């Protein structure tokens, strides 16, 4: 039995072809992709896969804990398929998302319950940051008198995740 099939069954989902394909792709893609990017990356090998199926499958993955929704400056669905507990730092200039190992920044356990009888099932920390590349670009622009413009190209080979104006 493949790893993806086992994870799907453990999450209570049927191991359909599209689900196996998407879970495998999501686990291999550490860039916190959008649904559209996953769809585009799979179209060559799986032309019958629809964007609607990708969205519906990702929704099922989010509900069952196989992946999680990640915030973004825009309003597109971004997902994280990394199964290990971790937090995120999001550059508010270019949108690059960085995984932060919880062992590097330990924190207290969340309470079991919040007011209004809300049961806590987990805790995620999201840091708003300016990445090194954007900070360097800002410094360079500041010294050349063109401060205030955004970077033209996201860092680390990521997809374009700049804030939409």
Q: Over the stretch 2-61, which tens digit does the pLDDT of each residue have?
A: 889 999 999 999 999 999 999 999 988 888 999 999 999 999 999 999 999 999 999 999
pLDDT (average), residues 79-102: 86
Judge whether 107 and 100 are in contact, CB under 8 Å: no
Task: For residue 112, report the phi and psi dihedrals to the nearest 5 degrees.
Answer: -70, -30
Residue showing tokens 């840091």: 127
Q: Which long-range contacts (CB under 8 A, 24 or more apart) does 13-20 make?
A: 13/60, 13/64, 13/66, 18/46, 18/49, 18/53, 18/54, 18/57, 19/57, 19/60
**Is it the case that residue 148 has pLDDT exceeding 80?**
no
Let me know if domain 1-82 sits in CATH 1.10.10.10.
Answer: yes
Domain with CATH 1.10.10.10 in the chain: 1-82
Q: Over the stretch 91-141, which tens digit does the pLDDT of each residue have?
A: 988 888 898 988 888 778 888 889 999 988 878 888 999 999 999 988 888
HSE, side-chain direction, 13 A CA sphere, residue 80: 20
């Amino acid at each position: 039995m493949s790893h993806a099939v086992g994870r799907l069954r453990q999450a209570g989902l049927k191991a359909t072809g599209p689900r196996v394909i998407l879970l495998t792709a999501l686990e291999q893609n550490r860039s916190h992709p959008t649904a559209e990017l996953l769809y585009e990356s799979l179209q060559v090998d799986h032309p019958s896969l629809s964007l609607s199926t990708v969205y519906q499958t990702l929704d099922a993955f989010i509900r069952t804990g196989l992946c999680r929704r990640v915030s973004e400056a825009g309003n597109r669905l971004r997902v994280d398929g990394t199964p290990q507990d971790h937090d995120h730092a999001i550059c508010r200039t270019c949108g690059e998302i960085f995984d932060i190992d919880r062992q590097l920044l330990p924190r207290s356990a969340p309470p079991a319950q919040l007011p209004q009888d809300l049961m806590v099932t987990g805790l995620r920390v999201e840091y708003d940051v300016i990445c090194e590349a954007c900070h360097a670009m800002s410094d360079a622009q500041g010294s050349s008198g063109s401060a205030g413009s955004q970077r033209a190209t996201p860092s680390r080979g990521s997809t374009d995740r700049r804030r939409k104006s």
